[in-house]
Structure 1
Amino acid sequence: MKNDLAESEKYNESLESFLSSYDVGAKLRRLRLRKKIGLVDLGKHTGLSASLLSKLENGKAVPTLSTLARIAMVFDVGIEYFFDSQRSRRMFVITRARERLRFPDRADNPVPAYFFEVLAFGAKEKRLSAYLAEFPPHKEEELRDHFHEGWELVHVLSGSLAIRFESEEHLLESGDSVYFDALEPHAYRGDSDPPAQAIVVTTRPQM
């Protein structure tokens, strides 16, 4: 019994030492302050008590994987955020053209309305998402509206692109841009051959 207790205490000490090397508490506090949210409000979002969150920030409590997962989900970051060393965390990320992957708008769509490539897939703590998109020509009746939280900016690089916003269609030519509330129903339609190309930037909603 005493041996088991000693082993348990030794394990906890090792775990605390391991976590302290990653400054998990400091990263949590930095993330919370950056989002301008108090301990009580964060507790409401995560289901954790403000006192526990305070202890985590001050290194007086050891977080479980489940606890970190809850916090990561609220702040929309990967759980790896808490385990990146300061040396490996970079806010300057280059994505080479050869590294980009091309995806259709929906995996189940036999005739995609557009294709997109993520321009900064390696960046962490992204406050926005940017894509290089290609829009093959389509008829208006083939469009399907979608919406999501945040704001959206579309800048046409080449070709013609029709954007339907709140049931009204607008035609954008090369060099044109549009900025709108993405929570409203909208859809894209390529209106040129070769396909239109555009940079699409979406922001994450503020908590």
Structure 2
Amino acid sequence: MAVCCYVVFIRIQRTAMTFPSADLGARLRASRLNAGLTLDAVSAATTLSKGYLSRVERGLKAPSLLAIQRLSAALSLTMGELFGETTSDGAVEVTRRQDRQRVAGGGAERLFPTRGGGLDSCVIYPGVDLQPRPDARAHAGEEFVLALAGVIELRFVDRGVVLEAGDCAQFPGHLLPRLRRVGEAAASALVVVSRQAG
């Protein structure tokens, strides 16, 4: 009886474990900005180059497991939080209607406490006279206005825009329009300010 022997050669290629980078990069950038850290600071804390970190954040580079571990430690996050599998305790904020903060000067309610940058939102109740939005200041970001009730006019330097309930407008933050309600009916609008972050 003949015995056949087969020798099988298996070539194992060693590769670094990598992870999908598009969503992860966006989460890394948001986490870094929320922590108030620059790319330089994260680079120093992780010993990963600034260029490498920039490519990871833009989704151009898939980070290794070691890089993920270093980044999660530097940002004080778990790996589950970086991958979007868990939510940190302070990630979701809720403000109840009765807890809204009145803006100095009246005519508006702040929906969340201001942190000096990022996103700011309020509900405004414009009067019959053209007035700047309470607490408004010029900035390099964008503003968004959604008419919730009534009719509202936004008056810019050289033009006016009328918004009825459900209409919205978006414009650069340096324009600072004055606002008023049109007609006798009460009017309100949601204003969202997105300030430019570095």
Provide TM-score, normalisation by structure 2.
0.52
RMSD value, Cα: 4.0
C-alpha contact 1:129 1:201 (8 A) present in aligned 2: yes
Tell me the residue number matched to 1:118: 110
Tell me the residue number matched to 1:154: 145
Q: Return the alpha-carbon distance in structure 2 between the equivalents of residues 33 and 94 of structure 1.
A: 18
2:32 matches 1:31: yes
Residues 5-61 of structure 1: CA deviation (Å, up to 9, x unaligned): xxxxxxxxxxxxxxxxxxxxxxxxx5269889432xx7xxxxxxx9xx93xx37xxx
Tell me how far 1:136 sits from its aligned partner.
1.3
| Aligned counterpart in structure 2 of residue 170 of structure 1, from 156, 161, 165 | 161
Question: Which AA in structure 1 matches 2:194?
Answer: T
Q: Which runs of 5+ in 1 are unaligned?
A: 1-29, 43-49, 59-83
Structure 1 pair 102–192 and aligned structure 2 pair: CA distance change class (3 A): farther
Question: Which AA in structure 2 matches 1:102?
Answer: R
Tell me the residue number matched to 1:95: 95
For 1:90, what is the secondary structure of its paired residue? coil
Tell me the residue number matched to 1:183: 174
C-alpha contact 2:146 2:168 (8 A) present in aligned 1: yes
Question: Which AA in structure 2 matches 1:94?
Answer: V
Q: Which runs of 5+ in 2 are unaligned?
A: 1-30, 47-75, 79-86
Quote the sequence identity (%): 22
For 2:98, what is the secondary structure of its paired residue? helix
Residues 67-82 of structure 1: pairs in structure 2 closer than 5 A = none
Give the stretch that moved more between structures: 125-134 or 160-169. Answer: 125-134
For 1:201, what is the secondary structure of its paired residue? strand
Query: How many pairs does the alignment contain?
Result: 131
Tell me how far 1:120 sits from its aligned partner.
2.2
C-alpha contact 1:102 1:117 (8 A) present in aligned 2: yes
Structure 1 pair 33–89 and aligned structure 2 pair: CA distance change class (3 A): closer
Max Rg structure: 2
Q: Return the alpha-carbon distance in structure 2 between the equivalents of residues 33 and 88 of structure 1.
A: 13
Higher helix share: 1
Tell me how far 1:126 sits from its aligned partner.
6.9
2:191 matches 1:200: yes
Tell me how far 1:183 sits from its aligned partner.
1.4
For 2:121, what is the secondary structure of its paired residue? strand
For 2:184, what is the secondary structure of its paired residue? coil
C-alpha contact 2:132 2:177 (8 A) present in aligned 1: no
Provide TM-score, normalisation by structure 1.
0.50
